[in-house]
Structure 1
Amino acid sequence: MNNNGPKGQLTFQKEPAFDLLAIIATLVVVKQALIPVTLLYAGPISTFSAMLVGTLLLRRRGMGWRDLGFRRPDSWLGTLGLTALVFIGIVLTSGLGGALVDLMFEDIGTSGRFDHIQGDPWAYLVIMVLTWTHAAIFEEALFRAFVINRALASLGGGRAAQVIALLFSAVFFGYRHYYYKGMNGALTTGLIGLTLGLLYLWFGRRNIWPLVFGHGIINTIGMTSRFLGLKGD
């Protein structure tokens, strides 16, 4: 398989393109089917389903999640430093990007999706489990590791392919949050996805754990604030 087009030109590869389409279809179809039934769990069930499909697809190609960055870091101290960088990147993107998006679209928050956790320890515990599985691990595995890698491979792996893969991952990540955050939240989340994608291309393919930890910490802070009644939508 040719992973690099001549002089960075795009070259289409069928197998990784099939893998990418299969994951996108799983994420979209499962979630859309479940939204009318459960707004809270539609996303997590769809990402869990996609993780199973992704695992089978990678094994079929003689690969595993380790090949996409889920491996033991060479240095846990270095991982902590990169986690701090990811955290700062998310905060800055959310603040600056969110302020820009606020000029164009109304911020509707999360449409009450997480209101039930305020003051409820059991609901908060469930959300924490989802925060560190569905949000931190599964979303980074799928929207950064799988989508970017397979998009890159399907387009030949050159510089142009990197740009397209990065933008596609960010746009799809934003779209995934539209159903409860509206256009404001989708665009802001897409910008965050763009930042995370850039960081993934920088160091995440060798060590994705800083992205997982940074994502999880940000969401933990947000959900804990809701639990304590310090954050409203």
Structure 2
Amino acid sequence: MKTKIYNYLTKPYIVVLTMLIAPIFGFIDRNFVFFFGLGVAFLILWGSNFEWSKFGIGKKITKKTVVKSLIITLAFFIGFNIIIDPILQHYFGDFDLSSLEDIKGNLVGYIVIMIVMWIFAAFGEEFLFRGYYMRALAELFGNSNKSWFLSAIITSIYFGISHAYQGTVGMISVFLWSLIISLIFNKNRNNLLLLVLIHGFSDTIGLTLLYLNKDSLISEWIQQLF
């Protein structure tokens, strides 16, 4: 049974089928879109006897990886919070962060969402979108450098649309963020944990600013320049 499930789910077209079926669950709850895809990915992992390298987890977290992730996170913060996002907000409006409003000044809520974020956003989303979707699509397209680049674009568009609840500006910003991090994965195909750290550290900064009610100060200052 286990082998049959694995052999079926690892067929080349299954990743496309999964990405097409998952959004249907959004009519029930947007979180189901994520958990459906994650469920398929974990069934493949289970069927492979937990061969994590199939999803790009082939290296342990080292001091070098942590330092590298912090440097990239800082670059992301400067690039997006000070340059890209303020420009996007000027033309497409503000982010819709209403789903996170409850953590402002709420220490318990902040701690809970931080734990959830590291498990399901930092690890879960990278495992699904880069570890499964991007790698499987790249292999479907021929596993060449061009196929990996095409896979990065498709996965990033899909990732951006999955954040439609943040509004138009959110989808565009997340698409650009995802594209860059996907290209980083293309250069570090066996080190998905690097992306997990970058994702986690980036969201930690964002959630902390939101908790402190400081999330809009930088954007407001930059927008005055336009």
User: Which TM-score tier does this pair reach, normalised by the shorter chain?
Assistant: 0.7 to 0.9
Residue aligned with 1:16, SS: coil
Amino acid at match of 1:106: G
Amino acid at match of 1:176: S
CA distance in 1, matches of 2:24, 2:116: 20
Residue in 1 that maps onto 2:140: 154
TM-score (ref. length: structure 2): 0.80
Residue aligned with 2:105, SS: coil
Q: Deviations over 1:147-174 (max 9, x none)?
A: 1101011111123312210100111111
CA distance in 2, matches of 1:92, 1:170: 21
Q: Which runs of 5+ in 1 are unaligned?
A: 1-13, 35-41
Deviation at 1:120, TM superposition (A): 1.9
Q: Is the 8 A contact 1:23 1:54 kept in 2?
A: no
Q: What pairs with 1:94-173 in structure 2 (closer than 5 Å)?
A: 94-95=80-81, 96-107=83-94, 109-173=95-159
Give the number of aligned pairs.
Answer: 207
CA distance in 2, matches of 1:187, 1:157: 27
Determine whether 1:54 maps to 2:41: yes
Using a 3 Å threshold, how does the CA distance of structure 1 residues 29 and 61 change in structure 2: closer, same or farther? Answer: farther
Determine whether 1:183 maps to 2:168: yes
Question: Among the aligned pairs, what percent are the same residue?
Answer: 22
Residue in 2 that maps onto 1:22: 18
Residue aligned with 1:157, SS: coil
Residue in 1 that maps onto 2:28: 33
Residue in 1 that maps onto 2:72: 86
Residue in 1 that maps onto 2:184: 199
Deviation at 1:194, TM superposition (A): 0.5
Residue aligned with 1:229, SS: coil
Single out whichever of 140-149 and 47-56 deviates more from structure 2.
Answer: 47-56
Q: Is the 8 A contact 2:138 2:148 kept in 1?
A: yes
Q: Is the 8 A contact 1:19 1:57 kept in 2?
A: no
Residue aligned with 2:42, SS: helix
Q: Which runs of 5+ in 2 are unaligned?
A: 1-9, 218-226
Q: Deviations over 1:15-51 (max 9, x none)?
A: 222134215523x2333311xxxxxxx43x5434422
Q: Deviations over 1:57-115 (max 9, x none)?
A: 34556773332222442x612212321243134224424332443353112x2341111
Single out whichever of 55-64 and 16-25 deviates more from structure 2.
Answer: 55-64
Residue aligned with 2:190, SS: coil
Residue in 1 that maps onto 2:7: none
Q: Is the 8 A contact 2:135 2:148 kept in 1?
A: no
Residue in 2 that maps onto 1:217: 201
Q: Is the 8 A contact 1:120 1:227 kept in 2?
A: yes
Aligned-residue RMSD, C-alpha = 2.5
Amino acid at match of 1:21: L
More helix by share: 2
CA distance in 2, matches of 1:89, 1:206: 22
